[in-house]
Amino acid sequence: MIVDTAGQVIVDMLTLSPSLSKIPSASAILDTSNFSFQAISYGKDVSGFNKHAHAVYDSNYSAIIVRSYESVSSYHSSAIGSAILRYNILPEYPDPLNTRLEQNNCRTVFSSLFSGLDVGHCANHVLLSSYSSVYQTLGCFAPSGGINYYVLSADHVSGSLGNILYSGTLSGAYNKYGIMDSSGFLTFAPLNGNQGRAKTATLEFTSGVLINLSPTFSSTGNIDLVWQLSAHDAATLLLYGGVYHFGLWCLDIKQMLKEGHKPPFAFNPLNNIRKYRLFAKKTFSRDLLYLNDAFGASAFKVLLEGLAAPYIAYQWTIRFL
C-alpha cells in the first residue's frame, strides 16, 4: 500500500525551484536521484520486539539465545504467540496515514539494564559501539564475523545453556557488504534501471536492492524492486520474531537540508546522515519465514543455514499509472 507520505515526496520534488540550478552549492538538490527509492526495511508485530530472542540476555554468552515453544526444533515465530498469554503476534494493519511500519513503541527493553532503538521496524544494533555487549538481545541482524545461536527446549537459566535443541553460527551478509545501516535501512544499489536489470539477471545483490526496470515500463508503468535476504540473515530475523512487514523508503530531503547536510547524500552504514520518508508498506498476516518442519528436527538448519539455498529473493512491484 502506498501511504500519504509518498505524496509529500512527490510534492517536494514538484515544488523545488528551478532557479537552484544556477547556484553551484545547491544545484545538486535538483538531481532526480534524490527522489527515487532509497531503502527497504523489515518489520514485525510490536510485541515481538520484547519476545523471542529479544527476551533473553546472559552476560556469560555473546550469543543469540531463544526458547522453542514446540516439541520440534525448527523455530516457529508463531508458536510463541500461542504459548504466551496475551501475546498478540499480528502486525499493525496498513493505514495510509502510517509513517513507519509499526506506529507504537518498538524499543526492546531488557529489565532496567538496557534498551534499544525505536525505529518502528527491525534495527541493526550490531553496528553501534554503544550496544557492543548487548546487541545479541537487541537484534535483529547478525554481524559479518558471525555470532553463535542456541535454541533451547526450556526457559533459559542464567549462566547455563542446558536443554539445547540445536545451535550453530550465523554470519550476516548485509553487514558483510555494508549495505544496511544501524537503523535497519537496506540501501538501494547506486545503479539505474537498466543496470539493475542486468544485475538481477546475474543474481548480483551485494550492492543493495536493485531496480529492475522492464523494457515495457513505458506501457505498463511497472517497476520491480528485487533484493536478497541471505539464509543466515533470514535465520537471524526468524529467531527475533520473523518478518511481517516490508517498508519502502525515499529520502526526506527537507529534513536533511534542515540539519545542514548537502547533496550528494551518500549512504554510510556506520554513520548514515540519510533521513527517510515512508513511501509504501506491505504487511502480511503470516511470518514470511515460517517453517513447516518438512525436514523434522533439522528444518531450521537445513533451510536457514544455507544447506538448501543460500538466500531468499524478494520482488516488490510498484506500478505507476
Residues 280-297: pLDDT tens digits? 999 999 999 987 665 655
User: Does residue 59 surpass a pLDDT of 70?
Assistant: yes
Stronger pLDDT, 21 or 41, i.e. the higher one? 41
The angle formed by the CA atoms of residues 22, 25 and 28, to the nearest 5 degrees, is 75
Weakest-pLDDT range from 74-78, 128-132, 300-304? 300-304
Task: Provide mean pLDDT across the span 181-200.
Answer: 91
What is the structure's pLDDT at 178? 97
Within 21-145, residue ranges assigned H as helices are 77-83, 135-138
Report the C-alpha gap between 39 and 128 in whole angstroms. Answer: 19
Domain limits at 141?
A: 4-319
Q: Structurally, how many domains does the chain consist of?
A: 1
pLDDT number for residue 273? 95
Phi and psi, residue 199, nearest 5°: -70, -35
H runs (alpha helix) in 130-286: 135-138, 173-177, 193-201, 217-220, 231-239, 253-258
Look at the alpha carbons of 292, 52, 225, 284 in this order and tell me if their dihedral is positive or negative: positive
